[in-house]
Amino acid sequence: MIAATSGPARPAGFFVRTIAYLLDALLLSLVGGAFPYLVISTGNTVNSSSGSAGSGAGAASVFVSLVYFVLFWSFLGGGRTLGMRVMGLRVVHEDGRRIEILDAIVRWIGLWISFAACFVGVVWVAFDGRHRGWHDMMARTLVVHA
C-alpha cells in the first residue's frame, strides 16, 4: 500500500516504455506470429506470388494483440503487460485507478492510430510533460513506475 505522503506515481519515460513494448512485441511475434498457422487450416495460406501470409493469418495476429493488451492493461491483468512487469511499469487511469476493459480497448485503438501516423503518436511520449502518447490521451491513461 502506498502511503498518503508519497505523492502521485512517477510517469514512465519514453525509453523504459519503449523497452517494455519491444519485449511485448517480441512475445507477440512468437505467439501471435505462430498462432494463426496453428489454428487456421485453409490449405494454402501463403500467397505464391508474394510469399506473404493470407489475410486470415493477419487478422488472427491482430486479434491476439487486442486480447493480449486489453486483458493485461485492464484491471484483469493488473494494468501490466509482461514487458511492463519486467520494466516495473503499470498503466493507470489519470485519476490513479486501474483501467476498465473499455479504457483498454480505447487505448489499444489509439496505439494503432499512433503507429499509423508514422509513429508520431508514440514518439509524443518523449516530448509530453506527463510522458503520454496519443493513445494515453485518448484513453485518459498514464504509464507509471509500479
Span 92-108, pLDDT tens digits: 999 999 999 999 999 99
**Cα pseudo-dihedral 99, 105, 109, 110, rounded to 10:** -10
Q: For residues 76 and 67, what is the distance between their CA atoms, to the nearest angstrom?
A: 11
**E strand map for the chain:** 89-93, 141-145
Q: In this predicted model, what pLDDT tens digit does every residue of 51-78 receive, in sequence order?
A: 455 566 677 788 889 999 999 999 999 9
Tell if the pTM clears 0.85, that is, is over it.
no
Instruction: Delimit the domains of the chain by residue range.
Output: 11-37+54-145
Q: Helix, strand, or coil here: 146?
A: coil
What burial class does residue 2 get, using C-beta atoms within 10 Å of its C-beta: 0-12 exposed, 13-18 middle, 19+ buried? exposed
